[in-house]
Structure 1
Amino acid sequence: MGAGASSLLGQDADPRCATGLGNLPEDCAALVLMNLDPPEICKLARLNRAFRGAASADFVWESKLPRNYPHLLEKIRGGEAGRTTARSKKEIYARLSKPNPFDGGAKVFWLHKHKGGVCLPVSAKALAITGIDDRRYWSHIPTEESRFQTVAYLQQTWWFEVDGEIEFWLPPGEYSLFFRLHLGRPGKSFGRRVWSSEHVHGWDVKPVQFQLETSAGQRAQRQCFLEEAGSWVHYEVGSFSVASWDKPTRVKFSMMQIDCTHTKGGLCVDSAVIYPRGVRPERVSADGRFGKTL
């Protein structure tokens, strides 16, 4: 049994055995890899020489790249599309599957390695927040708990409204949009995570209204109370679909609580995030470090 397993792997094979996976032609191995997710391709590349060679083939990785990937490269290269041919498709995929900031670092995107769509966080600094320039109500505070290293913090207001808009070459598929929010002000004390509830009030009186609209005419809206003080929460606004490779998708989104019969405060606005539908947004652990996007 053990000798048979070794023969299949093509390593330490019994010389009496004529063939094994180690003898598989690279083009056949490549056809196998084309049916796997990128993480599985990388694991199988460690199996033997045939899979290792096949795992570098351009046509394998081109099958994992979205058809509109040149537009994604333009986004991170400032429009220098002519340089896209200087890299192998494996290198291009590796680049696009890592976080790529753009628009001065206010936005970031990467390809999801399992779903194949784009993950796209938009920082609070790229959102239109009513009253953000009035330091009596709002301020930008630094924190390691944001991938953008800063969040917008609301002390108190009567009129709460946050609007955003983004146009991006999203690969076709289903997507969901969230706002990443935190009730209370996070911080650190003696190296440990702490948070202050000093200004938290008013969010249990009336719900916050969330809505989105796409350039294809899709709309979604919902409302909910903000809760779970002391934790980062992804509040889902809604889902939408992208059908075309040939044009960018524009998404407008907002959240508001404009009932002026009461004030509200103590809220951190980190970002709005677009993920392939079904992907669970990343969590932040107790020490402030990001977990994986699943």
Structure 2
Amino acid sequence: MGAGVSTTAAENDDGGTFSLPSETCLDDIPENCISSLMMSFDPQEICTLARVNKAFHRASSADFVWESKLPPNYKSLVNKVLGQQNLGSITKKEIYAKLCQPNFFDGGTKEVWLHRCSGQVCLFMSSKSFKITGIDDRRYWNYIPTEESRFKSVAYLQQMWWVEVIGELEFEFPKGNYSIFFRLQLGKPSKRLGRRVCNLNQVHGWEIKPVRFQLSTLDGQRSLSQSYLRGPGEWAHYHVGDFVIEKPNGPTNIKFSLAQIDCTHTKGGLCIDGVVICPTEFSERLKQI
């Protein structure tokens, strides 16, 4: 590919001659043809091809190439996280790049981004966006600052009999299968002499009964699961459930919860970072974290 072909003359049927181009190369391929071919590649491959030459670089910036990589609801995403911008003033490639970055909304309590390789929508909700029983009573709960959270703080439970955390989201997801995970840790994170430490002194009660996770959507999808909290001192993702968007026609309403409401014993030492919502195909990676 790209090799030159050198020929100075060719013979007509009547014995005459005519000149042929002395060399053909990649630069001779029409840009719209290159752009059409690029639609079949993923975003990272397109960026790699853009470095081949100037023609490929120009072709890689075509709006129709990057619009094919954006989710169908990208206009609502732009309005939600980038404001009421004039979409005609920025290229689709710029929109894709902006949406692949962390984009906070709802007062900084939620974050949405596109998976850079596939263009699929992922979302993270902070613990500050949840309804947590007793959150206003400092005897039970505190928000503590930490660099281990995307939101720079987590909800920390010191001790309580009744633990219930409820989250609700209304969001326009593209068609697909999605999974929801709570990101939790047993133990209070901090730093000492520049090194990470995790105080486990208040961790208790979680080995007696499992935590119950629930998920429901306005269109009738439901999920219920239970799990014992594991691995003190390390963040872990706990699967809440899955939901399906079959015919996206606007925002989907989702409600989920975490509860351990057996009042025969107290529970403590739990950190709640937030909830991850991602395409189900990514869920195996989270389960291993």
Q: What TM-score, normalized by structure 2, do the two folds share?
A: 0.89
Q: How does 1:78-93 map to 2 (within 5 A)?
A: 78=83, 80=84, 83-93=86-96
Which residue matches 1:252? 255
Cα–Cα, structure 1 residues 241 and 115, in superposed 2: closer, same or farther, change >3 Å?
A: farther
Distance in 1, Cα, partners of 2:120 & 2:252: 13
Whether 1:164 aligns to 2:151 is no
1: CA distance between counterparts of 2:226 and 2:118?
28
Out of 39, 42, 50, the position equivalent to 1:37 is 42
Determine the structure 2 residue equivalent to 1:111. 114
Which residue of 2 is the match for residue 120 of structure 1? Answer: 123
The answer to whether the 8 Å contact 1:179/1:272 transfers is yes
- How many Å apart are 1:283 and its aligned residue? 9.2
Look up the match of 1:186.
Answer: 189
1:163 Cα offset (Å): 0.2
2:80 maps to which residue? 75
RMSD of equivalent CA atoms: 1.8
Look up the equivalent residue of 2:104 and give its one-letter code: P
Shift of 1:18: 3.5
Q: Tell me the equivalent position of 1:95.
A: 98
| Corresponding residue for residue 32 of structure 2 | 27
**115, 118, 137: which is aligned to 2:140?**
137
How many residues align structurally? 272
Gap regions ≥5 residues in structure 2: 7-21
Structure 2 residue 251 is matched with structure 1 residue 276: no
Contact map agreement 1:137 1:156 (CA 8 A) in 2: yes
1:202 is paired with a residue of what secondary structure? Answer: coil
> Which of 193, 204, 207 is the equivalent residue of 1:201?
204
- Helix, strand or coil at the partner of 1:72: helix
Mean CA deviation greater in 59-68 or 42-51? 42-51
Cα shift at 1:134: 0.6
Seq. identity, %: 56
Structure 1 spans left out of the alignment, 5+ residues:
1-7, 285-294
**Does the CA-based 8 Å contact 2:70-2:96 persist in structure 1?**
yes
Secondary structure of 1:199 counterpart: coil
Shift of 1:37: 1.3
Matched, 1:61 2:83: no
Deviation at 1:147, TM superposition (A): 0.4
Query: Does the 8 A contact of 2:237 with 2:287 survive in 1?
Result: no
8 Å contact kept, 1:68–1:246: no
Q: In the TM superposition, what whole-angstrom CA distance separates every residue of 1:14-67 from its partner, at most 9, and x where no partner exists?
A: 573833434332112112210111111111111222221111000001111122
Q: Is contact 1:182–1:232 with CA below 8 Å preserved after alignment? A: yes
**What amino acid is the match of 1:242?**
I
Aligned CA distance change for structure 1 residues 282 and 45 (closer, same or farther; 3 Å): farther
Q: Distance in 2 between matches of 1:36 and 1:236?
A: 32
Question: Alignment partner for residue 225 of structure 1, among 224, 228, 236?
Answer: 228
User: 2:180 aligned with 1:173, yes or no?
Assistant: no
Taking the aligned partners of 2:81 and 2:97, their CA distance within structure 1 comes to 14
Provide TM-score, normalisation by structure 1.
0.88
CA deviations on 1:86-107 (whole Å, 9 max, x unpaired) are 1111111111111110011000
SS of residue matched to 2:281: coil
| Partner Cα separation in structure 2 for residue 283 and residue 218 of structure 1 | 26
Q: Conserved in 2, the CA contact under 8 Å of 1:37 and 1:113? A: no
Report the Cα distance in structure 2 between the residues aligned to 1:111 and 1:207, rounded to whole angstroms: 34
Deviates more, 1:184-193 or 1:256-265: 184-193
CA distance in 2, matches of 1:114, 1:240: 22
| Residue type of the alignment partner of 2:63 | D
1:64 counterpart letter in structure 2: K
Structure 1, 18-27 or 161-170: larger mean CA deviation: 18-27
- In 2, the alpha carbon distance for the partners of 1:87 and 1:283 equals 39
- Cα offset, 1:158, TM superposition: 0.3
